[in-house]
Structure 1
């Protein structure tokens, strides 16, 4: 007589129950999502409002609350493809190198003469020296600032390439350093974009590198591409620059080493500022929205140790002078230094409202993008289109499931009913696993589930056909069922392993939608083998033990 040990029955039933309970929250998606959002907000703020308490009460805390996250094509949201202007970083490197190189060269002014910066390409630092015959000595001094390139491909090379052209000392980044800089810039941009998106609580964004200098950004649940661009498109590059002069002519010659920046608050006013900032936003450790002494929205900030020292030294030596706070090339405030500012903290005032001060603090806290981004592609997927996709996927799944059930019952009778019940359990297990791992379901993912529904009964078909063959040899029904499961095992494993390998290849080599398809397909293969071999067999064993039929028809 066919048997299944009690311990194995308990494990099978326990796994089925766990899968169904874990998948159940997806039947009440809106309520559970509201419950989860309320908990996340309470943990973030440290206190609970009555509205949040009411939202939490929509789903019991003792039940699982994991959900299958809906992707961009199902939930709606924004899609951007951005190109990072890595050349901006080259200019910043040259600008930051100039004060240090000037100090090194000035130490031997008696030998090489006066030193001044000459005009040139943005990615080069050109320097004229008073004694051209001492160019070799100047190049030797400049090389003391070069350091080894930190990358696997740049071993044995330095970060600066130092030459002389037309009597000028020329410094630029070496090719190895450019490659390493490009990689660091993209990685830093990815991380900063991810932090900015996470700050506003979006669900399962897709942020990944594409090609050499492009970044793909897909954020479900956000209103529009313009809203997403406003969040991440600002470089939020904050600098504190000395003021050279203040005027109304934007076309005036700023002078070498200076630039002209418009004022945000003062119409028609332009400031001439020194190129080299005293401190930058990279030295900020915190930024938060607050109010100034007049009760107007502002942004408070705090520097790290090195930034606080430089900020304090400059304000102490320049009392009475104007000091510009520059955000993305525009002067948002140019206060007069009233006293030596110690402690490394301050406040940014301007024509802010509460929302603007909050958004600016988020951008500054997340860090400045190392380079400007150009948006090459943008589109918005509305929630209505996402709902249409969900409805279409649900309809396809129901039709596929219904046809498979009808076919199995028509071909195998009661055994087909067992296979159909196992098929429903299989779908529940797929959603249960996706909920546990926090997986994201996309439209191709739904296609993977529909394909799994069609494939899930393959193993049962192999078993049932084998049982039919064994019944023709005049074996008893118990023996026929037992041999049917044993002999079909090798074919079941072989068929599903090859499909599973295909799913792995799709996941490794594919991206985005292809990966979503591969994930649901791989999970579906595992659950379908489990339900076909163990769940269906358990139902057959229980039925056979109760009915003890003398003959069976498959």
Structure 2
């Protein structure tokens, strides 16, 4: 009875992994609902689909991190409205900002959009501008007494007078805040504000409120920028890089699967099934986390495939050692996992620490490599210690692993 149950569980598990993998790589249509394949759901970086990479440098003296963060927020707002979801705007060093826009190739338009000063304005319901960014003294985001995100506004003397007149005139009506042509928020005037201090509510999250506060406080770009590097990656070159990377990844994975099958025999088949699940889970995580995959990211992913196999190798070798001492197959498998666990955790945790350091201190491609490395290693630990262990246990119980020769072991 137990053997029959193990056979059924094993077949169901393999079938589930097979369907999961097929859906991930080819997609699935059920009635009017379609599950998209990974090729459509995973964002591709500039080096895989072509686009523009610009490095802007702040002109003048030193700039503090808060000012640079506000500048990045304003630039992000401008380039993201071009409809490119994979846009990357990130700090690079103390005075530089890296902007990568996949799928766009007109560098002049991008440079003009990024470099313009911008205009913040408060507009009444009569469409007349009440005051501008020059009238704003400060803006900060916080969580109010109702545990809701809010923005605290403070105006200078000129703005204080203008806002007092406007709130008296438009009480019960909205005063919209715009950055260029984009509306940031449209709060309704609840009372006459004569002390130059106002509160804006309605933001969905504290993060959204913080972004809006930074833009309002800046009023316009708080610094002068100059493009020190403009690089255009052609669409053809990007497509070739993607196809070559996928081809290299497929060949590398195939060789790993064949090695495990030929060297470890039946346990190698178990490892291959676990590895297929691992690949699908990692790509699914990339899709869910909205990761933008680059050539460096693909390299990190392929590296984690090798590390995922390494965990299985440690387990199988420990199991072999136990079998050579004369233990039963079931006891050897259990002891193999137990003895391999410290080595697996030690090697992977140190790599995760390295990945975290790279991600926190790196930029651009380095961040992409680090992120894929961290995600891959975490999932590799999961699949090795759960999927491989579960399938190996079922294989022993159903008699698929009934001889020590199935592990490639010979007792003298």
TM range (shorter): 0.5 to 0.7
Q: Say whether 1:191 aligns with 2:43.
A: no
Higher relative contact order, structure no. (Cα contacts within 8 Å, ≥ 6 residues apart) = 2
User: Partner of 1:213 in structure 2?
Assistant: 95
Ranges of 4+ aligned residues in structure 1 off by more than 6 Å: 61-66, 363-366
Q: Provide the C-alpha distance between the structure 1 equivalents of 2:320 and 2:89, rounded to a whole number of angstroms.
A: 53
Spell out the pairing of 1:150-165 with structure 2 (5 A cutoff). none
Q: Say whether 1:235 aligns with 2:117.
A: yes
Distance 1:200 1:425, change over 3 A: same
Contact 1:66 1:435 in 2 (8 A): no
Contact 2:43 2:292 in 1 (8 A): yes
Q: Say whether 1:79 aligns with 2:69.
A: no
Q: Secondary structure at the match of 1:204?
A: coil
Spell out the pairing of 1:435-474 with structure 2 (5 A cutoff). 435-474=287-326
Q: Say whether 1:508 aligns with 2:360.
A: yes
Q: Provide the C-alpha distance between the structure 1 equivalents of 2:329 and 2:184, rounded to a whole number of angstroms.
A: 74
RMSD of the TM alignment (CA)?
Answer: 4.2
Contact 2:26 2:37 in 1 (8 A): no
Q: Secondary structure at the match of 1:465?
A: helix
Contact 2:87 2:101 in 1 (8 A): yes
Q: Secondary structure at the match of 2:41?
A: coil
Q: How much does 1:448 deviate?
A: 0.6
Spell out the pairing of 1:126-525 with structure 2 (5 A cutoff). 185-236=67-118, 281-282=119-120, 284-285=121-122, 302-304=129-131, 361=181, 368-525=220-377
Q: How much does 1:527 deviate?
A: 1.3
Q: Secondary structure at the match of 1:201?
A: coil
Spell out the pairing of 1:12-31 with structure 2 (5 A cutoff). 20=20, 24=23, 27=26
Distance 1:547 1:190, change over 3 A: same
Distance 1:492 1:187, change over 3 A: closer
Q: Provide the C-alpha distance between the structure 2 equivalents of 1:520 and 1:447, rounded to a whole number of angstroms.
A: 9
Q: How much does 1:191 deviate?
A: 1.8
Q: How much does 1:511 deviate?
A: 1.8
Question: Which has the larger helix fraction?
Answer: 2
Structure number with bigger Rg: 1
- What TM-score do you get using the length of structure 1 for normalisation? 0.51
Distance 1:466 1:84, change over 3 A: closer
Q: How much does 1:548 deviate?
A: 6.7
Q: Deviations for 1:116-173, whole angstroms, at most 9, x for unmatched residues?
A: xxxxxxxxxxxxxxxxxxxxxxxxxxxxxxxxxxxxxxxxxxxxxxxxxxxxxxxxxx
Q: How much does 1:225 deviate?
A: 1.7
Q: Deviations for 1:293-339, whole angstroms, at most 9, x for unmatched residues?
A: xxxxxxx76334979x989x99xxxxxxxxxxxxxxxxxxxxxxxxx
Contact 2:90 2:363 in 1 (8 A): no
Q: How much does 1:235 deviate?
A: 2.3
Q: How much does 1:424 deviate?
A: 1.1
Q: Deviations for 1:481-507, whole angstroms, at most 9, x for unmatched residues?
A: 122122221222122122222222222
Contact 2:25 2:38 in 1 (8 A): no
Distance 1:389 1:303, change over 3 A: farther
- What TM-score do you get using the length of structure 2 for normalisation? 0.68
Q: Deviations for 1:373-401, whole angstroms, at most 9, x for unmatched residues?
A: 32221121122222111112111111111
Q: How much does 1:422 deviate?
A: 0.9
Q: Provide the C-alpha distance between the structure 2 equivalents of 1:490 and 1:402, rounded to a whole number of angstroms.
A: 28
Q: Secondary structure at the match of 1:535?
A: helix
Q: Deviations for 1:16-54, whole angstroms, at most 9, x for unmatched residues?
A: 87x948x956755xx99xxxxxxxxxxxxxxxxxxxxxx
Q: Deviations for 1:237-256, whole angstroms, at most 9, x for unmatched residues?
A: xxxxxxxxxxxxxxxxxxxx
Contact 2:56 2:225 in 1 (8 A): yes
Q: Provide the C-alpha distance between the structure 1 equivalents of 2:363 and 2:25, rounded to a whole number of angstroms.
A: 26
Q: Say whether 1:540 aligns with 2:360.
A: no
Contact 1:466 1:487 in 2 (8 A): yes
Q: Provide the C-alpha distance between the structure 2 equivalents of 1:228 and 1:429, rounded to a whole number of angstroms.
A: 36
Contact 1:425 1:531 in 2 (8 A): yes
Q: How much does 1:427 deviate?
A: 0.9
Distance 1:232 1:25, change over 3 A: farther
Spell out the pairing of 1:2-41 with structure 2 (5 A cutoff). 20=20, 24=23, 27=26
Contact 2:266 2:401 in 1 (8 A): no
Q: Secondary structure at the match of 2:52?
A: strand
Contact 1:476 1:551 in 2 (8 A): no
Contact 2:274 2:383 in 1 (8 A): yes
Q: Provide the C-alpha distance between the structure 2 equivalents of 1:497 and 1:63, rounded to a whole number of angstroms.
A: 31
Q: Provide the C-alpha distance between the structure 2 equivalents of 1:79 and 1:301, rounded to a whole number of angstroms.
A: 38
Q: Secondary structure at the match of 1:499?
A: helix
User: Partner of 2:175 in structure 1?
Assistant: none
Distance 1:432 1:361, change over 3 A: same
